[in-house]
Homo-oligomer: A and B are copies of this chain.
């Protein structure tokens, strides 16, 4: 399980004064990358040296309350399912100060050969690292 706090950044808000909803994809991707920290060089080396990536194929997002510049948010992330080539992730964002719900996201990403842009069965070392973040059932 991934669990950390982060500050909303100055330029992440939109003209309505709240964090632009597309920014939540960045927040979740940041958290997702941490699932791969057990690999040498982490997500970055996997992308740049091994040319293996995990493009999103399905994302469902529910936004319950806005956050703004100055807010500290908390994100938790788990691996909810590991398929042959796909990974299911769940993320929840809350306000750090009171635990109020901000957003929940369900993501499906597919292990991909970035050179050929084709699906790839999850390599065993990557599967093992992700399995450490599987949500208890």
Contacts and interface: CB of A to CB of B under 8 A. Distances in A.
Interface in A14-54: 14-18, 20-26, 29-30, 33, 41, 43-45, 47-48, 53
A9 B24 CA distance: 14
A22 B16 contact: no
A7 B6 CA distance: 14
Interface stretch (A60-68, A73-81, A82-90, A125-133): A60-68
A21 B70 contact: no
Given A9-B30, A10-B29, A15-B48, A57 B62 contact: yes
Given A10-B20, A22-B29, A48-B15, A63 B70 contact: no
A60 B61 CA distance: 6
**Stoichiometry (number of copies):** 4
A13 B10 contact: no
Contacts of A16: 10, 47, 53, 55, 114
15 contacts: A11-B26, A14-B69, A15-B69, A16-B53, A16-B55, A21-B29, A21-B55, A41-B70, A47-B70, A48-B70, A59-B59, A59-B60, A59-B61, A59-B63, A60-B60
Interface of A: 7, 9-11, 13-18, 20-26, 29-30, 33, 41, 43-45, 47-48, 53, 55-64, 66, 68-70, 114, 117
